[in-house]
A and B are shown apart, each in its own frame.
Chain A
């Protein structure tokens, strides 16, 4: 079993390296290079810039240099924001993104799962219909619509929360809700349908036939099984939160990593794009790896399929 985790760990590292390679060569496919702008830069200056960033080396050498940097966790300098390295940008932006992301995850788990369970137990009741209505709305509205609605209504019309920045505890409410909206709704729906599915299972009937109290039938026998697909979803959910933060940080004007990433995309700041993609991918892969471990702890059947 330990060898399974070791195997998964090395395959994660391998995947990160492949992603870094693909991203590197994709970026190098772009004609011109990072210093091509609307205004023509004189050739001498261009050459100097290229030399400064070692862009005049053969592609393969550049690749090796990049990979060397990657292994030592050095993602190189930004071509557009002078004096900043990609590491600096991540160091500056990641804490903000992480704070909102963690809050959103807590909200999703602590609200989405209980609401889904209640909805399943009260199937076809007004509560169930209300929860399903909200959850359906949540998965159909893009996060930027939810975010702008929060800003317009709660920050603008009611004035309850600030519309941007993170200067007060209240300011966290808007971005957290907007960021968790989709996944929260999805988790509630998933928990509900999974709970309904589990409640129809033979082993739940067996538990009832053995006289187990209804509270234990649901809280012990049904819940643990119903959570298995929910835990499986948490992997992709991290992706939704990561990419959702691009939009949320833009709408709420937060100084997070997503903002820098989107900016680097519009500015074509290639090292930042590559660096942040690799960072995001690595982060995602590690999180999914952790989710997998949690998953194998809940479901005893998983260990067999290593």
Chain B
């Protein structure tokens, strides 16, 4: 089934580091995945897990002193975009790949009107004249649910509420029908009711246009709402990858299980206590030699401290990077053994 779909994005061994004066911060350490047309890939992980940096790497928006390291490749629509120069890349940005960010309050330029900012982007990537671009911008605002686009398009960002700003940003991002939309924590900075509206909006867009989306969040609820596939990241590395059903119903990595246990489940009959994951995320300046989660893992073994686990194939659609899946590992309830480390 997956073979019939077009592969839009192929990320291979993505490594991104920041060379600060204190040393190298290895934000992303070898992440690989494929993304097919129409899929919604959720990348989940806590702060500092490298999820945002991996998304910015796809946009090639890593700023000094950050560097996408040699050996990484990001093939978008058949082109390795790590090879492009900045000018060529800017043809892709906003046009083929668009991105919306976490904080709508600061993501719009305060000194230009919404109209100015939207028309600028539309005209950058199309041949429309100003009138056509303005018409298109109003359509888009209407589409994302701004009540009175005719009037409100002339407003400045400070006259918009947070939710409206995020809508305007989404409208701008989809203005050129991008093949891929990256949403970096699009709801984190918003009120809960607004969060739901934005999720609804993204869902609507996905259903209506069939847009391919990478959704970055630390909120498993949002993932469950929107995603078809999920990647769980920790300490700059991929811990587990699978369909949304795999990750929610058959998690095979202690970190994923820990995440599930630490979230309250509304309406659940058995009154399980919330279990926090002990400890704190690793220092990316000097990451552990082995599995980044090993210092906090309830089932850590000696090898976990020494060597990062390979990706064990759990099923056709699911992989997990945990040594418990190795044939030699002791049996632990809830974890199965799978052969064939990738």
Contacts and interface: CB of A to CB of B under 8 A. Distances in A.
Is there direct touching of A and B in the complex, by C-beta distance under 8 Å? yes
Interface of A: 201-203, 205-214, 216, 220-221, 224-225, 228, 298-301, 304
9 contacts: A202-B103, A202-B107, A206-B109, A209-B98, A210-B98, A212-B120, A214-B87, A298-B111, A299-B110
Contacts of A298: 111
Interface stretch (B5-13, B89-97, B256-264): B89-97
9 closest residue pairs by CB, A with B: A211-B94, A210-B94, A211-B93, A202-B106, A203-B109, A209-B99, A300-B156, A202-B107, A210-B121
Interface residues of B, number: 31
B169 A212 contact: no
B61 A209 contact: yes
Given A211-B91, A211-B124, A205 B111 contact: no
A212 B111 CA distance: 16
B52 to A, nearest CB: 11
Nearest to B172: A210
A203 B107 contact: yes
B106 A208 contact: no
B265 interface: no
Contacts of A300: 110-111, 113, 156, 158
Name the residue among A208, A211, A221, A304 with the largest chain B CB count within 10 angstroms: A211
Given A216-B120, A225-B111, A300-B158, 12 more contacts: A202-B101, A202-B107, A203-B109, A206-B109, A207-B109, A208-B61, A209-B93, A211-B125, A212-B94, A213-B90, A221-B109, A301-B156
B90 A211 contact: yes
Contacts of B86: 214
Contact of A214 (B59, B61, B90, B92): B90
Contacts of B124: 210-213
A202 B162 CA distance: 14
Contacts of B109: 203, 206-207, 221, 225
Interface string B214-227: 00000000000000
A91 to B, nearest CB: 41
B111 A299 contact: yes
Given A210-B93, A225-B109, A225-B111, A301 B99 contact: no
B94 A201 contact: no
B291 interface: no
B247 interface: no
Contacts of A205: 61, 101, 107
A206 B172 CA distance: 10
B108 interface: yes
Nearest to A225: B111
B213 interface: no
A211 B107 contact: no
A301 B158 contact: yes
A202 B165 CA distance: 13
Interface string B113-126: 10000001100110
B173 A203 contact: no
Name the residue among B61, B103, B110, B158 with the largest chain A CB count within 10 angstroms: B110
